[in-house]
Amino acid sequence: MNKFKNFAINLREILNREDIKIDEPMKYHTSFKVGGPADILLTPKDFQQVVDVIKFCRKNNIPFYIMGNGSNLLVKDGGIRGMIIKLIKLNHIIVEGNKITAGSGASLKDVSTAALQNSLTGIEFACGIPGSVGGAVTMNAGAYNGEISNVVESAKVVDKFGRIRILDREKLKLGYRMSSIMMYGYTVLEVTFNLEKGEYDRIKKRIDDLNRRRREKQPLEYASAGSTFKRPEGHFAAKLIEDSGLKGESVGDAQVSEKHSGFIINRGNATASDILNLIEIVQCRVKAKFNVDLYTEVRIIGED
């Protein structure tokens, strides 16, 4: 029973009716295409609405979770109690000189495209990362020898008291898949990237090359959340998984990709439980063979 849906009426004082969804299946909001219903899913359109919704949740003791486009999220089959605040509508991108300021819901692909259009270099590595700006800064996303920490200047966030703060690079405390945003439960509103002037043709060539490599090496034709596991120190997760004989291993329609062992994919009708069971099999097999612990990079939330 959804004990929070009565709050939806009060939320209409903050959000438009179309930005409030009750018992919303999360499989429509994650790249894994799985997940039970969220009691309430909200899509605020501006900073003030985000602040007001967070304050509303705290005042009424309603648990809430912040998400972007759900590309690094696994929601369990029982769904989520409380509220999901999806920031996908904060998607503005503003270019001023060599700086790009983007809303937390803007995609990294769109930011890298804006950089290319303005001959700005430094963020090409992010052209194929499927996440949003807010999520990318929260986990210091990276690929192909690049990381968000290399190009971020500052982030505008909301703290747990509903106050808007500006965090410079030092205060963001960006490490491997870690940040102060994650540590202190901040909510990202927008991010400013500091890039360098470059040559359009050279930037485009780099982006085209990275996109080609992704298409060749990653199972982009299937639903997934990208790399399922963090890189263990001194190892590569995909190699450990492959060397454990797990390539192609499956539970239901969840499968260790035969194209890239670091990806667990949904071949069509997987449940979150299938994916979670497969994750556990991978972790146990790698631990038994190599005595290495694999930890998930994908964020797992919700109830069984």
- Residues 198, 106: one domain? yes
What is the reported pLDDT for 2? 84
> What average pLDDT does the chain have?
95
Which residues have CB under 8 Å from 117's CB, separation 6+? Answer: none
Query: End of a domain among 46, 68, 86?
Result: 86
Backbone angles phi, psi at 153, to 5 degrees: -100, -45
Is 93:170 a contact under the CB 8 Å cutoff?
no
Tell me how far apart the alpha carbons of residues 106 and 119 are, in angstroms, rounded to a whole number.
Answer: 19
Which among 139, 161, 157 is positioned nearest to 148, based on CA atoms? 139
Total-model pTM: 0.93
pLDDT at 1 over 80: no
- Residues 113, 151: one domain? yes
Q: What Rg, from alpha-carbon coordinates, does the chain have?
A: 20
CA 176 centroid distance within chain: 15
Number of domains, the chain: 3
Confidence of residue 144 (pLDDT cuts 50, 70, 90): confident
Confidence of residue 160 (pLDDT cuts 50, 70, 90): confident
Q: Residue 224 gets which letter from DSSP? A: E
pLDDT at 177 over 90: no
**Token digits for 265?**
């994919």
- Residues 111, 189: one domain? yes
**Region 171-200: what's the mean pLDDT?**
95
Which among 68, 69, 65, 55 is positioned nearest to 13, based on CA atoms? 55
- Whether 13 sits among the annotated catalytic residues: the reply is no
Q: Among 24, 190, 249, 297, which one carries the catalytic annotation?
A: 297
Tell me how far apart the alpha carbons of residues 288 and 105 are, in angstroms, rounded to a whole number.
Answer: 40
- Say what percent of the chain tops pLDDT 70: 100
- Residues 120, 185: one domain? yes
- Whether 224 sits among the annotated catalytic residues: the reply is no
Confidence of residue 162 (pLDDT cuts 50, 70, 90): confident
What is the reported pLDDT for 158? 96
**Token digits for 49?**
């609405």
Which among 151, 163, 149, 155 is positioned nearest to 188, based on CA atoms? 155
Which residues have CB under 8 Å from 11's CB, separation 6+? Answer: 20, 40, 42, 53, 56
Q: Is 11 inside a domain boundary?
A: yes
The string of pLDDT tens digits covering residues 32-74 is: 999 999 999 999 999 999 999 999 999 999 999 999 999 999 9
CATH of the domain at 291: 3.90.78.10
Confidence of residue 125 (pLDDT cuts 50, 70, 90): very high
Q: Among 81, 177, 206, 267, which one carries the catalytic annotation?
A: 177
Q: Is 180 inside a domain boundary?
A: yes
- Whether 196 sits among the annotated catalytic residues: the reply is no
The string of pLDDT tens digits covering residues 222-269 is: 999 999 999 999 999 999 999 999 999 999 999 999 999 999 999 999
Q: Among 227, 244, 257, 261, which one carries the catalytic annotation?
A: 227
Domain that holds residue 109: 93-202
What is the reported pLDDT for 63? 95
